Structure 1
Amino acid sequence: MRTSRTRQAAEANGETAGGGGRQWARADATRQALLTAAQEVFADRGYADAGIAEIVERSGISVGSLYHHYGGKAGLYVALWEELTGEQERRAAQAVSAAREEGQRDPIAQFIAGARAYLRVCWERREAARLFLAGEGPPGSSLMRRSRTQRWVARNTKLLRGRDGTGAGEPPATGRAEEVLGLVLTTVIGEAGREIATAEDETQAGEILEEVCRILIRLAR
């Protein structure tokens, strides 16, 4: 049960459901302020040396609200990770859907459209992306990353499996070959995302993106 002080802090930040839309909007603003501050502190200090006190100070939000929404530093890290990867996945899926709606039937072209969208997010959200490059994080974060990569490989493999081979005059890849192809291409995209997130400027990031897409096309075909 919350203490009176914690409950008052939560109400002050709009975290109770009874107040309607304005309270929920305040709660969203509270969560975003905490995530923004945590991203800055993690970037400045690294995850291990980041302190709750500094996150609270930068955000202007009470420590009670931080624990209420995220349960501590690890929860903030996971929320930042899920926010970034969720946006990458959404943008990639939207790009694939858009390509299909425009009449693109080649699964490789659809795959490249998704990869391009994913890599753009790596640049647009580079401050967040850089947080995860060093591999720091709370216990269990490595497993979280591996699980996400496995899901990503599975999705890419499924997308590529739709290829019928008629464009290249070759039979479609099947079974283990498809799985290896999906793994290789996903790994290339992941490493490219790291390079793009640490690029010196937008021009360099764009050059990396275009070269990676050319490489992906060659590998996929």
Structure 2
Amino acid sequence: MSGIVESAGTEAGGRPPAGQGGTVRRALLDAALEVFTERGYTDASLAEMAARSGIPVGSLFQHYGGKQGLYLALWEEFREEQERRTAATLASERGRGVDDPVVLFVAGARAYLGGAWDNRRLGRLFAEDDGPSGFDALRRQWDRAWVRRNARLLRVDERRRAGRVRVSVLTTVIGGAARELADCVDETEAREIVGEVCGILVHLSTPPG
């Protein structure tokens, strides 16, 4: 699998109106994403989000409590989708009998990077330094959990500092590539980035012998 598959509606910014099959929450989140990506978090206006979604500001507060709640809901959605995509890929690979930790790790990384491309508008948003108070700490917490999951996948002894450093470097490579994909506009180039990075990961994740 290439991991580079365009998700319908994600980059185009289109959404069904609230009265045509879209839920209130979906309409609010889609409007929030549009405004956040255009204005940044600090300058984003709740009134503009409400106007674009066609839903009253009061309903926005009822569902999300304000601008911070909308931003964090988008982050949670992005994070959960990346984890779901990666877990599904690993389950599929294991179902085919794949047991090599490096092969599994690279397959998971390819799935994650595919998600970074598919959801690049969200990726661009979260790569910015303009977010709600406490978001950086939340992101660092998730990054640490990500490193621990990768260590288990690669069967690295986390008690050894060298092993922890190796997994941290590998995870940083994936995160850096995801940020590049967030800024990418060409699918062919995105495929090249994913292929290049996966080749690097194969090399770096092989234990020294």
Same fold flag (TM > 0.5): yes
Distance (whole Å) between structure 1 residues aligned to residue 196 and residue 159 of structure 2: 27
Following superposition, the deviation at residue 177 of structure 1 comes to: 2.2
Tell me the amino acid that sits aligned with residue 194 of structure 2. Answer: L
Tell me the amino acid that sits aligned with residue 125 of structure 1. Answer: N
Identity of aligned residues (%): 53
Q: Give the helix-richer structure, 1 or 2.
A: 1
Q: Secondary structure at the match of 2:179?
A: helix
TM-score (norm 2): 0.86
Following superposition, the deviation at residue 201 of structure 1 comes to: 0.7
Tell me the amino acid that sits aligned with residue 147 of structure 2. Answer: V
1:195/1:178 CA distance change after superposition, 3 Å: same
Following superposition, the deviation at residue 197 of structure 1 comes to: 1.3
1:215 equivalenced with 2:200 (yes/no) = yes
Larger Rg: 1
1:103 equivalenced with 2:97 (yes/no) = yes
Distance (whole Å) between structure 1 residues aligned to residue 106 and residue 151 of structure 2: 13
Aligned residue for 1:61? 55
Which ranges of structure 2 fall in alignment gaps of 5 or more residues? 1-17
Tell me the amino acid that sits aligned with residue 191 of structure 1. Answer: G
Tell me the amino acid that sits aligned with residue 185 of structure 1. Answer: L
The answer to whether the 8 A contact 2:151-2:158 is kept is no
Aligned residue for 2:33? 39
Distance (whole Å) between structure 2 residues aligned to residue 133 and residue 173 of structure 1: 28
Distance (whole Å) between structure 1 residues aligned to residue 45 and residue 27 of structure 2: 16
Aligned residue for 2:184? 199
Aligned residue for 1:138? 132
The answer to whether the 8 A contact 1:160-1:178 is kept is no
- The runs of 4+ residues in structure 1 deviating greater than 3 Å are none
Greater relative CO (CA pairs within 8 A, separation 6+)? 2
Following superposition, the deviation at residue 180 of structure 1 comes to: 1.2
Over aligned residues, Cα RMSD in angstroms? 2.0
Distance (whole Å) between structure 2 residues aligned to residue 143 and residue 77 of structure 1: 15
Which ranges of structure 1 fall in alignment gaps of 5 or more residues? 1-12, 15-25, 163-171
Tell me the amino acid that sits aligned with residue 113 of structure 1. Answer: A
TM-score (norm 1): 0.81
Aligned residues: 189
Distance (whole Å) between structure 2 residues aligned to residue 211 and residue 174 of structure 1: 30
Aligned partner (choices 154, 157, 175) of residue 148 of structure 2: 154
